[in-house]
Structure 1
Amino acid sequence: MPSLSHTRLRPFVLSLACAGLLSALPSLAAAAAPEPANKVELTKMTGRWYEVARTPNAMQKACEAATADWTRTGAGYSVVQTCRRGTPDGPKKEWKANATPVDPVKNAKFKLSFFGGVMNQEYWILDHGADDGWLIMGTPGGNYVWLLSKAPQLSAAVRSQAIARIRQLGYDTSKLEFPQQVR
């Protein structure tokens, strides 16, 4: 029976170790993600949400006047996300998704299916204002965060409070983008 030499075995063991480490990374990232703080009343999700701030992401590059319209459909929601390229009056870009609550205890975790189910992503409502006029939504891995509001603009005091809460949740607020909104 032929034996494996140390020089042939070493790359094999190294590749197994790297594969094990890489497979552990998503669970490590998920463990670092902040959990939703408060229960969400699902009826408050309906309607238009205006984007106040976000972490940069490829899908929303040069995206201004971004909104998300949530409409109740059976056990979930239809979500239409819209933005304007470059300026609040620029060319319109739109994404459609179906959102399903996946957290029956707090109702704060949603699975969104885009492009007819080709792309799926969970989004968590990490916190929201006492009056439900704003919410902080993020991805479970902690990579992306959005500040959304029921009004196109937040008062300076409320905006500062919400940004401080984003910082408390562990996000680097110096990286936030503040897209223009239609007044």
Structure 2
Amino acid sequence: MSLSTAACAGAPQPVKAVAPTLFSGRWYEIARTPNRMQQNCQGSTSEFSGWSNGDFHVVQVCHEGTPQGPAKTYSAKARILPASGNAKMKMMFFGGLVSQEYWILDHADDNAWAIMGTPGGKYVWLMSRRPVLDPATRTAALQRVHALGYDLSHLAFPQQLSR
């Protein structure tokens, strides 16, 4: 599989450990690899809460069509995978019927943004603590996504409300 499909032939590994504080609070989606579950999603957020010994909860919200559109909400239980420096997690949706690993591939030193991907390298997300990144920070974060092997021309950039 080539990078032109936005997938990495070999999934990039997380570059550094992640502090537990990254798994709390709201994250806004800045960019993503298009995927079926998020088709037509705008104003997407993920809310992390309840961190306890590597277990936590995630509520993902997607607004259909526009950031003000009807909300679709997905809840998941998540668990940090052992010996991953808190950089790899498994989320379980629909009472555990569906599960997926996600890896924090990189993040800003101040946790202002994070790059999350799937182990196979097929999907990547750029997340931010703010709904809109300033241009210099956005450029630097996207350069980091590209350096990890993802083709930026294949990313979707959902609209966010400036809050």
TM-score of the alignment, normalized to the shorter chain, above 0.5: yes
Q: Is 1:42 matched up with 2:20?
A: yes
Alignment partner of 2:72 out of 93, 97, 119: 93
Alignment partner of 1:33 out of 5, 8, 11: 11
- The residue that corresponds to 2:148 in the other structure is 169
> Using a 3 Å threshold, how does the CA distance of structure 1 residues 30 and 111 change in structure 2: closer, same or farther?
farther
- The residue that corresponds to 1:53 in the other structure is 31
Give the structure with the higher percent helix.
1
Deviations 1:22-78 (A, max 9, x none): xxxxxxx99710000011001232000000000000000000000000002433111
Q: What is the TM-score normalised by the length of structure 2?
A: 0.91
- The residue that corresponds to 2:4 in the other structure is none
Read off the aligned partner of 1:124 and give its amino acid letter: W
**SS state at 1:32 partner:** coil
Q: What is the TM-score normalised by the length of structure 1?
A: 0.81
Q: Is 1:115 matched up with 2:90?
A: no
* Matched-pair contact (CA < 8 Å) for 2:20–2:51: no
Larger RCO of the pair (alpha carbons < 8 Å, separation 6+): 2
- The residue that corresponds to 1:6 in the other structure is none
1:103 deviates by 3.6
Read off the aligned partner of 2:136 and give its amino acid letter: A
Q: Is 1:143 matched up with 2:122?
A: yes
The percentage of aligned residue pairs carrying the same residue is 51
Between structure 1 and structure 2, the one with the greater Rg is: 1
Structure 1, unpaired ranges of 5+:
1-28
**SS state at 2:22 partner:** helix
Read off the aligned partner of 1:180 and give its amino acid letter: Q
Structure 2, unpaired ranges of 5+:
1-6
Give the structure with the higher percent strand.
2
